[in-house]
Amino acid sequence: MRSHRQGPSLLHLDSSASGGDSVTRQLTARYADIWRCLHGSAGYRYRDLAAEPVPLVSPAFVSLGVRVERHGMVPLHKVAELAADPAERHEWALTLPLIAEMRAASTVLIGVPMYNFSVPAALKAWIDRVTFPGAFVDEGTGDRLLRETTVVVVTARGGCYAPGTPREGFDFQTPYLSAYFTDLGVAPENLHFVHAEMTRAGDVPALARFTPLAADSLSSARSAVTELARLPAAGRAAARTPEKTTARTR
């Protein structure tokens, strides 16, 4: 199975357990609104990983994956033939649509709240399932299929993890997602992070003094998201600099 991209397409994933007041949801919605204005709705796909969780991988998912790995390069349309029982067929039926969406997307936009210094379990469940052996490698040529895919990760954190701050080393979101997507084949220049920080300053008395910092961070994140959404796909890599695409409090 190959991806058949007909013009720009956006896969938009949210993973916040919060609803309307979620910072990541607001920022990804802003990106998606601008993107749809520019490119239309035909290529737009939305998944709310918190509202409709991707099932955790099961023993049958693992056994099917191991069998596929033992066969070497297995085209996606032949994986079903390797399923040994109904449980493995069920796992594959849950997994293939997610892989197909990812392969079809020219841009993947992900809202990622920081939960306990890392990513929400809802997003991790999607990552574990979509990362099926060989899913993003061309079965004919061995080429990495996501090399041209743009990935925009929009995070929100209650605290601040910017370089030079006391909690810099506690940020396991950015290094994890950076390693994950580049290992999956996304070119580093096509991977963008936007961070809104100190989002809890308005709720937590101990953080109240950081309210101006929070407002600045959110404003920078809005600008960064707007800028990224407006860039033509081909111009993204060339235009990228850390300053342009990473909004932080400092």
For ligand FMN, the binding residues (CB under 6 A) are 16, 18, 22-25, 113-117, 156-159, 199-200
Q: How far is the CB of 176 from ligand FMN (least distance, A)?
A: 13
24 vs 131, which CB is nearer to ligand FMN?
24
Contact 79, 120 (CB under 8 A): no
* Beta carbon nearer to ligand FMN, 121 or 187: 121
Taking the complex as a whole, the smallest distance from the CB of residue 117 to ligand FMN amounts, in Å, to 4
Residue closer to ligand FMN (CB basis): 83 or 228: 228
User: Closest CB to ligand FMN among 99 and 123?
Assistant: 123
| DSSP H/E element including 13 | strand 10-14
Q: Please, what is the minimum distance in Å from the beta carbon of residue 126 to ligand FMN?
A: 16
Q: How far is the CB of 168 from ligand FMN (least distance, A)?
A: 12
Which candidate, 225, 226, 202, places its Cα nearest to that of 214?
Answer: 202
- Tell me the C-alpha distance between 239 and 235, whole Å: 6
d(CA 117, CA 172): 6
- Cite the DSSP H helix spans in the chain: 23-39, 59-71, 76-82, 86-104, 121-130, 173-184, 211-230, 233-239, 242-245
